């Protein structure tokens, strides 16, 4: 039981260091909070999407010539 509590405490500490994913609405707009790992995933997906788009454009240009 003590080991389980210690594991949960370290997990909570690790997750609090990581950040939160949250969306808060206000009268003036909204505020978005994204954790570090979520941002890393979004960046890697964005890079992959751009690479796929460049490949698509290159194939279209090859067909024209």
pTM of the model: 0.49
Residue-level pLDDT at 57:
82
Residue-level pLDDT at 5:
45
**What distance in Å separates the CA atoms of residue 24 and residue 20, rounded to the nearest whole number?**
12
**Sequential pLDDT tens for the chain (65 residues):** 444 544 444 444 445 567 888 999 999 998 988 898 888 888 888 888 888 888 888 887 887 76
Q: Which two tokens stand for residue 52?
A: 């796929």
Residue-level pLDDT at 59:
82
Write b or e for each residue in 5-33: b if 16 or more Cβ atoms lie within 10 A of its Cβ, otherwise e.
Answer: eeeeeeeeeeeeeeeeeeeeeeeeeeeee
Q: Which residue do the tokens 């279209």 mark?
A: 60
């Amino acid at each position: 039981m003590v080991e389980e509590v210690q594991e949960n405490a370290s997990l909570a500490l690790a997750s609090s260091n990581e950040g939160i994913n949250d969306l808060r609405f206000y009268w003036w707009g909204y505020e978005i909070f994204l954790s570090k790992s979520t941002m890393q995933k979004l960046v890697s997906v964005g890079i992959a999407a751009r690479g796929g788009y460049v490949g698509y454009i290159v194939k279209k240009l090859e067909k024209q010539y």
